[in-house]
Chains A and B, each alone.
Chain A
């Protein structure tokens, strides 16, 4: 457990908390990109402990949360087919589509299986040559290399009964959209360490320069997050806006070139719709023509399916930091983890679920506070 315990050390965390509160001459508004970071913040009550010095806005970096309803409905429609074994990461199973979710499809007889890796899905395809095996390839740049690898391997091995339903998004276009919005309040960014482990941070440099915000590549443990915040606050206090790397034990400036190359070989940049953010140009990935044979949307004829999002769910405002989850009318009332209206209430990484599960006792006592 080396590289974990020292980044969960309470003494180190307390020293950083003291350093941040001493350093901040005003309350700064930072956004952590990744849902895993959101959970660390809420689990450890870091937002509560930083009240008055730093307000954390929870960003759009939960792959489950930003996957649009339309993609979920496509997944359900494919998973219902008799010849299909539908494979997915676990937390996609509860995400509601328009009328159902993958768990219900499974209960009605669909073969839906949780896998830990797309390569496991590929193995299932080899073991079941008379079935169509589909993997739900969601996620940011973090999961893209493994998903690219599975498709690439499928082509190498000539596995024809394997395909992927791609819903890949990328971080920089979402940050550009959030920072460029007229009502943007975000003054600094904690970038997602694992995304940058793959991609590096070169592409964040123009964003920091254009929007004049510090961006700190940050890890996922409490001490990581607090170091990231401390670096961002120090820059803000000095009036700087650079990209810095807190997560030096995993991230290099150029990322992991081999992983980037495989992603670039299999996928190409494409326009993508985001739950809550709408259609963003060049904000996602799709399979290149050379791998089109592995595209589940084409194979099962669902590419033209179009669905609009629930009106009561304010996922978009939550994901862009306009409101806290607890400020949504539906939070805890018509929207709970048992009956989620929107994806942020579903995923373990979703901001709404994090608040509901870990901090709803704070509803009456908001800290920081969005106007």
Chain B
């Protein structure tokens, strides 16, 4: 008796059109390949990535490189004004730009939670592609991992940025010196309050949108001022107050800001007032603080105001040498107070 081949194949064929991330997408097998081919590669299309080697090879246009890495864990993943992808690209590019460097490329690592909807993931990837394209920077290497449901909050992204240091323009926190003017490129606290409003489901009169933006064009506009620009800092987590404290500590100077000089949009100020938060400690994602030699400060202000990202740029204070490491605020009444680092998160007050 000869064996007969079965006439009907009954084995179940795995689904390949899931609308959510499955653990199998992290297996390294067919689903992983599909995840890259269908969702990532079409959006991040560039020759270095398309080669799919174990590493990407890039030409370096400079003798010195600026490198920055940042992990993004925002909740909710999507918020008015952007999503975690917008932040992941702009945030790291801004860190490179704050060193005066010209970005060369980005890498992106993703931790995806089982069950994350592809609709959300696709919107995040599309935002990353859009932001990278706008900045003229390619995402040349990447990685994805999938963790079980409940082991991550939707998705986490780590990006690393590489930039070419500009020998003629290299601001650094330690170059700040007494006599510098302190400028800010725009109104503060929008990102943090947009996130908080989305998280708490606050019904505000107007939707506060995140200020997430790539500051590179604004930095490029300041480049002609050269060594007169002493330090740049994007005041993200911890807000303007924390950024100023970091600079004051790094260059052992006193930073003095003037009460009321830091622009806060009306709706943001109102939301902070209601929630008992100080806008100086609320996160920004598209604003930078500029420490510039006093005699170049008017030019810097003009240059920034001529650019859409810096239309509301303002002078907020100056650098002194009296109390090294301290940030002080001159109040409208002429007294001074310390603007200190917070011990932890800014906690809403009882009354």
Is B truly associated with A? yes
Contact (A116, B351) CB under 8 Å given A43-B331, A357-B340, A360-B338: no
Instruction: Give which listed residue, B335, B343, B351, contacts A94 with CB less than 8 A.
Output: B343
Q: How far is the CA of A1 from the CA of B266 in the complex (A)?
A: 8
Closest to A91 in B: B347
Contact (A361, B326) CB under 8 Å given A10-B332, A44-B335, A49-B333: yes
Minimum CB–CB distance from B268 to chain A (whole Å) comes to: 12
B337 contacts A by Cβ under 8 Å: yes
A45 contacts B333, C-beta separation under 8 Å: yes
Interface of chain A residues 23 through 67 with chain B (CB within 8 A): 36, 42-46, 48-49, 63-64
> Which of A138-146, A205-213, A293-301, A308-316 forms part of the interface with chain B?
A138-146
Closest to B340 in A: A357
A89 contacts B333, C-beta separation under 8 Å: no
B336 contacts A93, C-beta separation under 8 Å: no
Q: Please indicate the chain A residues that have their CB under 8 angstroms from the CB of B273 in the complex.
A: 1, 4
Q: Which range contains the number of A residues in contact with the other chain?
A: 35 or more
Known contacts A45-B331, A139-B350, A337-B342; can you find 5 more A-B pairs with CB under 8 A? Answer: A45-B335, A90-B347, A116-B200, A348-B349, A349-B349
Instruction: Give which listed residue, A138, A336, A359, contacts B338 with CB less than 8 A.
Output: A359
B249 contacts A by Cβ under 8 Å: no
B287 contacts A by Cβ under 8 Å: no
Q: Write 23 A-B pairs (CB below 8 A) sorted by A numbering.
A: A1-B266, A1-B269, A1-B270, A10-B332, A17-B333, A36-B349, A43-B331, A44-B332, A45-B331, A45-B336, A46-B335, A48-B335, A49-B333, A49-B335, A90-B347, A91-B347, A91-B350, A116-B275, A140-B351, A222-B333, A349-B350, A358-B340, A361-B326
Q: How far is the CA of A347 from the CA of B349 in the complex (A)?
A: 8
Minimum CB–CB distance from A194 to chain B (whole Å) comes to: 6
Q: How far is the CA of A142 from the CA of B349 in the complex (A)?
A: 13
B184 contacts A by Cβ under 8 Å: no
B343 contacts A93, C-beta separation under 8 Å: no
Q: How far is the CA of A8 from the CA of B338 in the complex (A)?
A: 19
A114 contacts B by Cβ under 8 Å: yes
Q: Please indicate the chain A residues that have their CB under 8 angstroms from the CB of B275 in the complex.
A: 116
The 0/1 profile, CB within 8 Å of A marked 1, for residues 298-333 of chain B is: 000000000000000000000000010010100111
B61 contacts A by Cβ under 8 Å: no
The 0/1 profile, CB within 8 Å of B marked 1, for residues 309-331 of chain A is: 00000000000000000000000
B344 contacts A94, C-beta separation under 8 Å: yes
A63 contacts B350, C-beta separation under 8 Å: yes
**Which residues of A come within 8 Å of B, CB atoms?**
1, 4, 8, 10, 13-14, 17, 36, 42-46, 48-49, 63-64, 89-94, 103, 114, 116, 138-140, 142-143, 194, 222, 336-338, 347-349, 356-361
Q: How far is the CA of A8 from the CA of B333 in the complex (A)?
A: 10
B350 contacts A89, C-beta separation under 8 Å: yes
A91 contacts B348, C-beta separation under 8 Å: yes
B6 contacts A by Cβ under 8 Å: no
Closest to A357 in B: B340
Closest to A42 in B: B337
Q: How far is the CA of A292 from the CA of B337 in the complex (A)?
A: 47
A114 contacts B335, C-beta separation under 8 Å: no
Closest to A43 in B: B337
Interface of chain B residues 84 through 142 with chain A (CB within 8 A): none
Q: Please indicate the chain B residues that have their CB under 8 angstroms from the CB of A45 in the complex.
A: 331, 333-337
Closest 8 CB pairs between A and B? A45-B335, A10-B332, A90-B347, A90-B348, A337-B343, A358-B337, A89-B350, A338-B343
Q: For A4, A48, A139, A356, which residue has the most chain B Cβ atoms within 10 angstroms?
A: A48
Contact (A359, B337) CB under 8 Å given A1-B273, A63-B350: yes
A44 contacts B276, C-beta separation under 8 Å: no
Closest to A358 in B: B337
Minimum CB–CB distance from A352 to chain B (whole Å) comes to: 13
Interface of chain B residues 264 through 307 with chain A (CB within 8 A): 266, 269-270, 273, 275-276
Instruction: Give which listed residue, B331, B338, B349, contacts A89 with CB less than 8 A.
Output: B349
Q: Please indicate the chain A residues that have their CB under 8 angstroms from the CB of B270 in the complex.
A: 1
Q: Please indicate the chain B residues that have their CB under 8 angstroms from the CB of A13 in the complex.
A: 332-333
Instruction: Give which listed residue, A10, A142, A359, A360, contacts B351 with CB less than 8 A.
Output: A142
Q: How far is the CA of A272 from the CA of B151 in the complex (A)?
A: 44
B347 contacts A93, C-beta separation under 8 Å: yes
Q: Please indicate the chain B residues that have their CB under 8 angstroms from the CB of A360 in the complex.
A: 338
Closest to B326 in A: A361
Q: Please indicate the chain B residues that have their CB under 8 angstroms from the CB of A43 in the complex.
A: 331, 337
Q: Please indicate the chain B residues that have their CB under 8 angstroms from the CB of A356 in the complex.
A: 340
Minimum CB–CB distance from A174 to chain B (whole Å) comes to: 16
Q: How far is the CA of A301 from the CA of B131 in the complex (A)?
A: 56
Minimum CB–CB distance from B200 to chain A (whole Å) comes to: 8
A44 contacts B333, C-beta separation under 8 Å: yes
B333 contacts A10, C-beta separation under 8 Å: yes
